Amino acid sequence: MEIITIKDIARLCGVGVSTVSRAINNHPDINEETKAMIMQVIRENNYVPNNSARNLKRTDSKAIAVLIKGITNPFFSNMIKIFEKKIKEKKYSFILQHVDNKENEVDIAIELIKEKKLKGIVFLGGHFSHPDEKLRMLNVPFVLSTIATMENLDKSICSSVSVDDFKESYKIVDYLCKQGHKKIAIITAPMDDESIGMLRFNGYTRALKDNGIEINKNLIGIMKDELESYSMENGYAVATELLNKNEDFTAIYAICDSMAIGACKAIFDIGKTVPEDYSVLGFDGLDIASYYNPSITTIRQPVEEIAEETIKILFNVISKKTLVEHKTFQGELVVGQSTKSI
């Protein structure tokens, strides 16, 4: 078979080689019709762009990577779409990189920076407890988005956008106390958690104390190791145990909406109702929280605003407008049908 070169394509199209290159590489600076025509000719001629030339071209192009822990978490769905849109608006290409639970996101980032000549990075989800020296190895701007950072993290070396998990958790539990609830069970992360689990649990205990309610250890349900964390299944299993304990309570606060939905189902399955028999509360403000029956009382994290602000800050740092920025958004207490006052 005759080898088709980029020059042949250019000749067939009646354009220059650089125009063909722009079409292949999705360069913004090319007329859409011209591009369509070139791509048509490329297809008709089975032209395969030369790899090394192409890589050269691509490393020239500007890319932002989003490294995500928990890619299957519905909480991130809308954020991913906004990242993609905003990054492409800036004429950067968008790389979505999945990070395994056991992988070190900073190592992956260091590797990506070299491979892809990244101009910026967003770390999304999970928690972040890397030594400062390690973070200093990241020689491109980066932003931590909806990541629980530990207090000892040096805030002068990275930017961040999130809600205050402690404060928001306090807010929803305090609301429940003010509705007259005194016996409030919680479904939470293991006690050695250092992430949002710990922060949200601390918000719960503080709100109870401030409302003069003693912590009852029997009402603390810990999500199960053997099940996926923060899942409906886990919420269902832990709620079922709580309900079978013969311990009296009027409400279950699950530290995420998915577990709150599992808790609701556990309540239905023993023939009880929500909120008549038990109030149920979640956290996050997933779409499903409002579509569930009953809709779930929750803290809605402003994910769209968080995603937009993340990109805004990243580009501020890239353009050297700012060195670092930290932004904490307010969550919104959304009162659904799953809670009642007593």
Name the residues that contact a copy of itself, by CB under 8 A: 43, 46, 48, 51, 54-55, 71-72, 74, 76-78, 80-81, 84, 96, 98, 100, 110-111, 114-115, 131, 133-134, 137, 231-233, 236, 261-262, 264-265, 268, 287-288, 291-294
Rounded to the nearest whole angstrom, what is the least distance from the CB of residue 54 to a copy of itself in the complex? 7
Instruction: Please report how many Cα atoms fall inside a 13 Å half-sphere around the Cα of residue 337, on the Cβ side.
Output: 10
Contact, 292 vs 261, CB < 8 A?
Answer: yes
Give the single-character DSSP code of 76: G
Rounded to the nearest whole angstrom, what is the least distance from the CB of residue 182 to a copy of itself in the complex? 27
Shorter beta-carbon distance to a copy of itself: residue 130 or 182: 130
Rounded to the nearest whole angstrom, what is the least distance from the CB of residue 244 to a copy of itself in the complex? 19
Shorter beta-carbon distance to a copy of itself: residue 199 or 255: 255
DSSP secondary structure string, 133-197?
HHHHT--S-EEEES-EE-TTS-TTS-EEEEE-HHHHHHHHHHHHHHTT---EEEEE--TT--SHH
- Written as six digits, the tokens of 48 are 């395969």
Rounded to the nearest whole angstrom, what is the least distance from the CB of residue 202 to a copy of itself in the complex? 28
Shorter beta-carbon distance to a copy of itself: residue 203 or 336: 336
| Phi and psi torsions of 149, nearest 5° | -100, 145
Q: What SS3 class is residue 127?
A: strand
Q: How far apart are CA 171 and CA 277, in angstroms?
A: 23
Rounded to the nearest whole angstrom, what is the least distance from the CB of residue 122 to a copy of itself in the complex? 14
Q: What's the start-to-end Cα distance of the chain, in Å?
A: 80
Shorter beta-carbon distance to a copy of itself: residue 18 or 72: 72
Shorter beta-carbon distance to a copy of itself: residue 40 or 322: 40
Rounded to the nearest whole angstrom, what is the least distance from the CB of residue 232 to a copy of itself in the complex? 5
Alpha helices (runs of H) in 5-148, residue ranges in sequence order? 6-13, 17-24, 32-44, 51-60, 77-89, 105-116, 132-136
Rounded to the nearest whole angstrom, what is the least distance from the CB of residue 20 to a copy of itself in the complex? 15
Shorter beta-carbon distance to a copy of itself: residue 114 or 321: 114
Contact, 25 vs 38, CB < 8 A?
Answer: no
CB neighbours of 331 closer than 8 A, spacing ≥ 6? 163, 164, 168, 171, 285, 299, 300, 301, 302
Shorter beta-carbon distance to a copy of itself: residue 68 or 207: 68
Phi/psi class of residue 101: alpha, beta or left (left: φ > 0; alpha: ψ in -120 to 50)? alpha
Shorter beta-carbon distance to a copy of itself: residue 60 or 100: 100
Rounded to the nearest whole angstrom, what is the least distance from the CB of residue 7 to a copy of itself in the complex? 20
Q: Which of 200, 211, 201, 222 is nearest to 176 (CA)?
A: 211
